[in-house]
A and B are shown apart, each in its own frame.
Chain A
Amino acid sequence: MTTAWRHRDLLLELVKREFTGRYRGSFGGLAWSFAQPLFLLAVYTVAFGVILRMRWGFPGGTGDYALMVFAGLIVFNAFAECLTTAPWLITSNPNYVKKVVFPLEILPCVTAITAIFHALVGIAVWFLGYAILYGAPHPTAALFPAILLCLFPLLLGANWLLSALGVVVRDIGQLAALVAHAMLFLTPIFYGIDAVPPLLQNVLLANPLTFVVEQLRLVLFFGEMPSLRGLAVYFVLASAFAALALGLFRRLRPRFAEMV
């Protein structure tokens, strides 16, 4: 983290570029950041909420279904964005590896920060939707930053791990895309965890996203206090994972130049 701090100007510039660069040359520009999750939400809501008529375990209409799905999607999208980008991070920037002395550790940070930013955009859209349907949000909704904070080390760790491994084994990129796809359905996004057969429930609980999704829905939608102890434990575990991933990244770092 000291590396990131030392290069904060560079980090900031890279995040800025990631944001502006993604839609560079497109007519929509930054609006795509909003439009994309909204569009996907509309598709999923029509498919699962309207056509398949899926409902949560409480009485509510399609609007409720959409809000619940969206809260889950925000978390999933952040993670999936990392999963699909990270394996190519180093290999797609050979200049930064071979030609200049570049603090490579911060590239995965950039991706994690960008993902969190996109999640923030998503939450802003979520609040808008909630305001239209129900008006003022619950006071507990103000706690959402704490939940994103717990998610952050998980994203960071995944990025360090995958970007480093992606250099050594190019197949990681393909695999990660598959995993991301599977996780869309193996995370309780379109359904509640209690709607799942007991055997599969364990799989879902082992999914690191499940806890975050549930907590986010708790504060945003249900207006309940999150499990503070749970969040604390989660944060510590995620941080430990990130530290291990960074360790691996640093171990493989000297060999990047020959393998990229």
Chain B
Amino acid sequence: MGEVAIRARGLSKRFLSYDSQGARLMHALSPSRSAGVHEVWALRGVDLEVARGESIAIIGRNGSGKSTLLQIITGTLVPTMGEVEANGRVSALLELGSGFNPEYTGRDNVMMNGLILGLGRDEIARRFDEIAAFAEIGEAIDRPVKTYSSGMLMRLAFAVQVLTDPEILVIDEALSVGDFFFQQKCLGYIRALCEKGVTLAFVSHDMGTVRDLCGRAIYLRDGRVAFAGETSLAIHHYLADRGGGNGASHFSEAAAQADLPALLRDCIWRAPASTGAGRLIAVALRDEQGRPSTSFPMGATMKVQVAYRPGAEGPTHVAAILRNKLNQIVTSIGSAQLQVAPPAPVDGEASIFELDLKLSLEAGNYSLTISLGRLVGPNQGHNLDSSDAIGPISIHWDYESRSAPFLGMFGPPATAAFKRVSHE
């Protein structure tokens, strides 16, 4: 099906701010007057084409125009220049519980939201039970929405938008609110919708989710498309820029290595181009079942796979540096510490380094940097190449209902026993 679901050409969006109410009025009456009017361009000349059933991610830093683009696709904002067309019913989760009236009950709001989406009363009534069941908020459905927690609000909003048969689903960061398990449920549902042919436009800062859900991504920088294409490459661009721009400029498709295809297919980070010796090629993260993932339960083992070209001289050292939310190094561990010797390098051949890391760490988000170096002392190395900060890698635990293997920041290997006191 080559049908186009979303097509945008030359989208630009200008926001105006005014010095005074007078300037605002004059400008509203005759747009050519611009005294006291300041303009900010949120989007500049964005082109976009999404086929029916395709999933596309829009990534970028805060203020790069992601949400503006989604709002234009949804139809709540009108572009200043350019045009957009969306073929199909658009369901949008732009902001938490938007379109909900806090005074009314969940039930009333579901009805209202459905009506706004253009459904008939009967249709909504028919689906109501399904929606309530998906949202898992139980009795609260008959309480005013203002009494809901943000998580409950998100669940109900998600259930309404997603269970009303959208043809195009637009999601802006909304999923970050719910608890991990509901997020999983939502993502699973979204994936199922995508498989059924629903078109998805997805904004998130969670690169793992982006990678899992979307085959293609658009990286926006300052309102322009900085990169559009395969998700892992777009993520690389984004992460590289975030780290201060270590000059990822020209791109060629990374040379496919015969023994690397699985790693390259599942990688979350990929180098811009396969250059010479002593360079990293790609990094993949897998869970215990071997599936690519960036989200692990506490205590699980994360497999880090690194494809690289060994340096021309000296023994190579590959290390993984894990940082927490505060950018503190939680651990830096690699081949030298684990005392594994690299194989003798074959000229120009890629090697793979695998590290199994048991995540005995407090639940939260972490980032991972891979570094490739040459050992010069017991704890010293000469850095050859580093990846961008990859992440967030989220470690989670349901503290409410499952007893944790440890509490606090770190769970060191430990054993314990109770002993009977012997009385003589």
Cβ of B76 under 8 Å from chain A: yes
Q: Which of A82-109 contact B (CB under 8 A)?
A: 95-102
Chain A residues lying within 8 Å of B104, measured Cβ to Cβ, are 17
Chain A residues lying within 8 Å of B25, measured Cβ to Cβ, are 168-169
Q: Residue on A with the closest CB to B29?
A: A168
Chain A residues lying within 8 Å of B90, measured Cβ to Cβ, are 101
Cβ of B181 under 8 Å from chain A: no
| Distance, CA A95 to CA B77, complexed state (A) | 12
Q: Are A101 and B92 in contact (CB under 8 A)?
A: yes
Q: Are B99 and A99 in contact (CB under 8 A)?
A: yes
Q: Are B99 and A95 in contact (CB under 8 A)?
A: yes
Q: Are A98 and B103 in contact (CB under 8 A)?
A: no
Chain A residues lying within 8 Å of B111, measured Cβ to Cβ, are 13
B149 to chain A, nearest CB (A): 19
Q: Are B15 and A99 in contact (CB under 8 A)?
A: no
Chain B residues lying within 8 Å of A96, measured Cβ to Cβ, are 99, 116
Q: Residue on A with the closest CB to B15?
A: A258
Q: Residue on B with the closest CB to A25?
A: B103
Q: Are A100 and B78 in contact (CB under 8 A)?
A: no
Cβ of B115 under 8 Å from chain A: yes
| Distance, CA A204 to CA B135, complexed state (A) | 58
Q: Are B112 and A100 in contact (CB under 8 A)?
A: no
Cβ of A180 under 8 Å from chain B: no
Cβ of B75 under 8 Å from chain A: yes
Q: Residue on A with the closest CB to B78?
A: A254
| Distance, CA A78 to CA B157, complexed state (A) | 36
Cβ of A257 under 8 Å from chain B: yes
Chain A residues lying within 8 Å of B46, measured Cβ to Cβ, are none
Count of A residues near B, CB < 8 Å? Answer: 24
Chain A residues lying within 8 Å of B98, measured Cβ to Cβ, are 95, 98-100
Cβ of A35 under 8 Å from chain B: no
Q: Are B16 and A258 in contact (CB under 8 A)?
A: yes
Chain B residues lying within 8 Å of A169, measured Cβ to Cβ, are 21, 25
How many B residues are at the interface, by size bracket? 20 to 34
Q: Are A100 and B116 in contact (CB under 8 A)?
A: yes
Q: Are B28 and A255 in contact (CB under 8 A)?
A: yes
Cβ of B74 under 8 Å from chain A: yes
Chain A residues lying within 8 Å of B15, measured Cβ to Cβ, are 258
Question: What is the interface of chain B mostly: helix, strand, loop, or mixed?
Answer: mixed
B255 to chain A, nearest CB (A): 46
| Distance, CA A98 to CA B95, complexed state (A) | 10
Cβ of B120 under 8 Å from chain A: yes
Q: Which of A182-229 contact B (CB under 8 A)?
A: none
Q: Are A99 and B78 in contact (CB under 8 A)?
A: no
* Most chain B CB atoms below 10 A, which of A102, A254, A258, A259: A258
Residue from A13, A17, A21, A257 in contact with B77 in the complex, judged by beta carbons closer than 8 Å: A257
Q: Are A100 and B76 in contact (CB under 8 A)?
A: yes
Q: Are A99 and B94 in contact (CB under 8 A)?
A: yes
A202 to chain B, nearest CB (A): 31
Cβ of A24 under 8 Å from chain B: yes
Q: Are A99 and B95 in contact (CB under 8 A)?
A: yes
Q: Are A102 and B78 in contact (CB under 8 A)?
A: no
Q: Are B76 and A257 in contact (CB under 8 A)?
A: yes
Cβ of B121 under 8 Å from chain A: yes
* Most chain B CB atoms below 10 A, which of A97, A101, A169, A254: A101
B125 to chain A, nearest CB (A): 11
Q: Are B103 and A99 in contact (CB under 8 A)?
A: no
Chain A residues lying within 8 Å of B71, measured Cβ to Cβ, are 98, 257
B30 to chain A, nearest CB (A): 12
Q: Are B115 and A97 in contact (CB under 8 A)?
A: no
Residue from A13, A101, A258 in contact with B75 in the complex, judged by beta carbons closer than 8 Å: A101
A72 to chain B, nearest CB (A): 34
Q: Residue on A with the closest CB to B75?
A: A101
Chain B residues lying within 8 Å of A102, measured Cβ to Cβ, are 99, 116
> Provided the pairs A100-B76, A258-B15 are in contact, do residues A9 and B112 lie with their beta carbons within 8 angstroms?
no
Cβ of A10 under 8 Å from chain B: yes
B422 to chain A, nearest CB (A): 71
Q: Are B76 and A99 in contact (CB under 8 A)?
A: yes
Chain B residues lying within 8 Å of A97, measured Cβ to Cβ, are 76
Q: Which of B71-101 contact A (CB under 8 A)?
A: 71, 74-78, 90, 92, 94-95, 98-100
Q: Are B99 and A21 in contact (CB under 8 A)?
A: no
Chain A residues lying within 8 Å of B112, measured Cβ to Cβ, are 13, 17
Q: Are B121 and A9 in contact (CB under 8 A)?
A: yes
| Distance, CA A98 to CA B74, complexed state (A) | 10
| Distance, CA A21 to CA B144, complexed state (A) | 13
Q: Residue on A with the closest CB to B113?
A: A100
Kindly supply a per-residue 1/0 record for chain A positions 243-260, scoring 1 wherever the CB is within 8 Å of any chain B CB and 0 otherwise.
Answer: 000000000101101110
Kindly supply a per-residue 1/0 record for chain B positions 55-76, scoring 1 wherever the CB is within 8 Å of any chain A CB and 0 otherwise.
Answer: 0000000000000000100111
Residue from A24, A100, A255 in contact with B99 in the complex, judged by beta carbons closer than 8 Å: A100
Q: Which of A4-54 contact B (CB under 8 A)?
A: 7, 9-10, 13, 17, 21, 24
Chain B residues lying within 8 Å of A17, measured Cβ to Cβ, are 104, 112
| Distance, CA A102 to CA B100, complexed state (A) | 13
Residue from A10, A24, A101 in contact with B76 in the complex, judged by beta carbons closer than 8 Å: A101
Q: Which of A162-177 contact B (CB under 8 A)?
A: 168-170
Q: Which of A142-181 contact B (CB under 8 A)?
A: 168-170
Chain B residues lying within 8 Å of A170, measured Cβ to Cβ, are 21
Q: Are A168 and B16 in contact (CB under 8 A)?
A: no
Could you list which residues of chain B lie within 8 angstroms of chain A, going by C-beta atoms?
15-16, 21, 24-25, 28, 71, 74-78, 90, 92, 94-95, 98-100, 103-104, 111-113, 115-116, 118, 120-121
Sorted nearest first, the 8 A-B pairs with minimum C-beta distance are: A99-B98, A254-B78, A10-B115, A100-B99, A101-B75, A168-B28, A95-B98, A9-B121
Q: Sample 5 A-B pairs with CB under 8 A, ordered by A number.
A: A95-B98, A98-B71, A100-B113, A101-B75, A258-B16
Could you list which residues of chain A lie within 8 angstroms of chain B, going by C-beta atoms?
7, 9-10, 13, 17, 21, 24, 95-102, 168-170, 252, 254-255, 257-259
Given contacts A10-B116, A257-B71, 14 further A-B contacts (CB under 8 A): A7-B115, A9-B120, A17-B112, A95-B99, A97-B76, A98-B71, A99-B76, A100-B98, A100-B116, A254-B78, A257-B76, A257-B78, A258-B15, A259-B28
